[in-house]
Amino acid sequence: MTLSSPPTPEPPTPEPPTGAAPEAEARSALLLRVGRDRDRNAFALLFGHYAPRLKAFMRKMGADDAVAEDLMQEAMLTVWRRADSFDPQKASAGTWIYTIARNLRIDRIRRERRPELDPDDPALIPALVSEAPPPADERLHRERVDDRVRAALKDLPPEQAAVVALSFYEDAPHADIAARLGVPLGTVKSRLRLAMKRVRESLGDCLS
């Protein structure tokens, strides 16, 4: 949001979020409108899509219903407050919101700090490739990346899919996953590596 932008007209009352789910590209566009224009209507549409998912995500982590509801509302508030830092060339709306939910979960449920890199760190070693912005027709290619990853995840062998789901949804350390699946620790690690390899192959040069 730029403070110098002209005041936007009062948005119409947000529609109830029961309509058709906005497509991935539309969701990133909505998030951009939230960041740029403080568009409450766009926020309500995003809420309709993400609120149930965020609450389920928190529940899977073991939060009870009331805590999951609180954390979901907190996550959506954070989406509103930080939307001006959303960059559709770096991530899709789904990926960006996922990282907010993940960090909130570590902070509130595990009560730990999450060590994060600082993009402005003078010690940061930049990527060798130039970071020129992609051409205009590539602007929404992050959503295509998401589509390919989602397709690759659907095609994972069930034993790899299980390890991925336990890692990402339930925040389970490798040792816990091994105990729950009744397999050795090394098997958990190799399944996760194989799954990541498949994801990477499905993307080809899409992300590099």
114-173 binders of another protein (CB under 8 A): 114-118, 120-128, 145-146, 149-150, 153, 164-165, 167-169, 171-173
Q: How far is the CB of 18 from another protein (least distance, A)?
A: 11
Interatomic CA distance for residues 196 and 158, integer angstroms: 14
Q: Of 4-12, 38-46, 132-140, which segment contacts another protein by CB under 8 A?
A: 38-46
User: In angstroms, what is the minimal distance from the CB of 81 to another protein?
Assistant: 7
109 alpha carbon, distance to own chain's centre: 18
What is the Cα–Cα distance from 29 to 40, expressed in whole angstroms?
13
State yes or no: residue 3 binds another protein (CB under 8 A).
no
Q: What is the largest CA-CA distance in the chain?
A: 60
CA 134, distance to chain mean position in Å, is 21
Q: Which range binds another protein by CB under 8 A, 1-9, 44-52, 132-140? A: 44-52
CA–CA separation, 131 and 150 (whole Å): 26
Nearest distance, CB of residue 65 and another protein, angstroms: 6
DSSP state of 109: I
Of residues 79-118, those binding another protein (CB under 8 A): 80-81, 91-92, 94-99, 101-103, 105-106, 112-118
Residue 40 interacting with another protein (CB under 8 A): yes
Task: Match 């993307």 to its residue by tokens.
Answer: 203
DSSP category for residue 18:
T
Contact flag: residue 181 with another protein (CB under 8 A) = no
CA distance 78 to 87: 15
Q: How far apart are CA 6 and CA 203, in angstroms?
A: 41
Residue among 83 and 136 whose Cβ is closer to another protein: 83
Q: 52 to 81, contacts with another protein by CB under 8 A?
A: 52-57, 59-60, 65, 68-69, 72-73, 76-77, 80-81
The yes or no reply on residue 180 touching another protein (CB under 8 A) is no
